[in-house]
Structure 1
Amino acid sequence: MFVYLFNRFNIHCVKISFHTCSMRILFLLLFFFPVLVLAQVQPTKNIQRQDLLWVRYQNQLTISPKLLLQTEIDNRMFHSPMKQHHLVMRTQGRYMVAEHLQAGLGITYALQYPQDPRSTSDLVVPELRVQHDITLKQKLGKANLNHRYMLEERFIRKVEEQDLLPGYNFNFRFRYRLQVEVPLVKKETEDLGLVVYDEAMLNFGKTIGKNVFDQNRMYAGVKWGVTEALALELGYLYWFQQRSSGVDFYSREIARLSIYHKVTLKRNDK
């Protein structure tokens, strides 16, 4: 069914404008892919539902017109009961290759707490990731469309029952995110916009067996540019994740608050 619809859209692309065609393809990717994923896992019935709250602070330091350093800390907690779930810290350099093309290279340090908020375990599993990405940007009318392609090299500490072991398990993860930003209100000192995205993640490597599909995230939020240097974003994230067993899944509904802070290094003219 999905292939048939996609082919129909391709045929119509010859007859209609690029803008209209791109919007139709965007609709398919954002809404049909998650539906197909969910349809495939329905027979298993092993789906655990959870509610979480994510709070993120991101700092963007502009070093030059083409180079910036981006640092963030993302605190993720279960909502009921209130308990730590994940702490993620990232630092990456980003380079403007061209007007519509940006490349990034960075490192992530994460601490994974128990996946069950009612667990009495105090096991915390550290993880290191090296990430590489490219982001393509394009305009669709008033909207901004971003394609992000990311490859992560993940080093996850080895665990046996409730104990950390020496060494790390290694695997790759590929991530593709399609994001749309639509301006709603634009003023001289502030602005308001809608942010929608869908991100799919795939695992691969020697340690990956039954969970090649890792997860899918769908998000919608409102971003308020308080000033040129400060923005706040509040949104809803649906996170569907397959566990290593291949038959168990997490279905997570998340309220997310993001704080964006931009700083520009001033250059002294001589």
Structure 2
Amino acid sequence: MASRVLFLVILLLSVGAYAMAQPSQRQVTQQQLIWYSYNNTLLLNSKWSFGTELHERRFFNPDRHHQFLVRNSIRRKVGEGWEASAGFTYFLQSPNEPDALVRLTIPELRPHLQLNYNQPLSNLTIAHRYRAEKRYFRNASDDRLTNGYNSNYRFRYRVGIEYKLTAIREQPLKLKVNNELLVNAGKRILYNRFDQNRVYAGLNYAILDNLEFEAAYQHWYQQRRSGYQFYSRHIINLAIYHRIDLSKNSVKEAQ
């Protein structure tokens, strides 16, 4: 079983390498970005938790804002290695071209349902994430927002591995590698059913038992609405993961 899962991981990661081998008929725009994020998890009890994410995403060279989002989710463990969650994201999208003359920011509302499954194998953990999103985009005309929203669906599958490399000051240093495929659906989607592929590789270090810092490289390959135009984005990721165990405080107060 373990060998089959590892084969699947290698196969999916190879999709990202294939995507970078771009045929000549495609028009590909290269971009460089840096993403900052803070991820907080409130552990309510042994089964329930609440998560909050803050993401700031920017172009560099030149330095321009690209995206900002706040995501909240309520999560529940539903079996051995399984977790189900429902959440909502408020998303702000600036132009996809850093030198665009019109700098209109478009809001997006994004509820989602998600399933996570983790498979521990000694020092290695294989993680699967399944997410379905309904995306509501604010209507816009030229350089201004207009009334109403248009919408579509998006389905995402991410598979990754997390491997403990060593311990530094009794805290683990881990290698994290994952690949995510995203697919669009809806009446407005004509030429870009395939939305994007994200390949990610980085190092995670637990500064404290409940506080982790992560630095990574991500390649984001995205198909545009035309079908033949693509973005190839090279991204530096800097992230903080913070867990607060409220269940311990509840036990102390009960005592």
Shift of 1:207: 1.1
Normalised by the length of structure 2, the TM-score is 0.94
Q: Do residues 144 (structure 1) and 125 (structure 2) align?
A: yes
> What is aligned with 1:23?
6
Residue 3 of structure 2 aligns to a residue in which SS?
A: helix
CA distance in 2, matches of 1:58, 1:23: 28
Q: From 239, 251, 257, give the equivalent of 2:232.
A: 251
> What is aligned with 2:188?
207
Higher normalized contact order (CA 8 Å, seq sep 6+, divided by chain length): 2
Q: Do residues 34 (structure 1) and 19 (structure 2) align?
A: no
Q: From 107, 113, 121, give the equivalent of 1:126.
A: 107
Shift of 1:104: 0.8
Letter in 2 for 1:47: V
Letter in 1 for 2:16: P
Normalised by the length of structure 1, the TM-score is 0.89
**Structure 2, unpaired ranges of 5+:** none
- Further displaced range: 183-192 or 198-207: 183-192
- Further displaced range: 185-194 or 227-236: 185-194
Residue 226 of structure 1 aligns to a residue in which SS?
A: strand
Residue 26 of structure 1 aligns to a residue in which SS?
A: helix
Cα contact 1:233–1:257 (8 A) shared by 2: yes
> What is aligned with 2:83?
102
Cα contact 1:152–1:172 (8 A) shared by 2: yes
Q: Percent identity?
A: 36
CA distance in 1, matches of 2:38, 2:74: 17
**Structure 1, unpaired ranges of 5+:** 1-17
CA distance in 2, matches of 1:185, 1:120: 48
- RMSD of aligned alpha carbons: 1.4
Residue 64 of structure 1 aligns to a residue in which SS?
A: coil
Letter in 2 for 1:74: H
Residue 155 of structure 1 aligns to a residue in which SS?
A: strand
Q: Render the CA deviation track for 1:21-77: whole Å, top value 9, x for unaligned.
A: 32222211211x2344455x5142310000000000011111111111100100000
Q: Which has the higher strand share?
A: 2
User: How many residue pairs align between the two structures?
Assistant: 251
Distance 1:121 1:219, change over 3 A: same
Letter in 1 for 2:201: A
Name segments (4+ residues, structure 1) moved above 6 Å: none
- Further displaced range: 139-148 or 79-88: 139-148
Q: Render the CA deviation track for 1:167-216: whole Å, top value 9, x for unaligned.
A: 11110000000011000123674211000000000000111111100000
Q: From 202, 211, 217, give the equivalent of 2:198.
A: 217
> What is aligned with 2:171?
190
> What is aligned with 1:90?
71
CA distance in 2, matches of 1:35, 1:190: 32
Q: Do residues 155 (structure 1) and 136 (structure 2) align?
A: yes
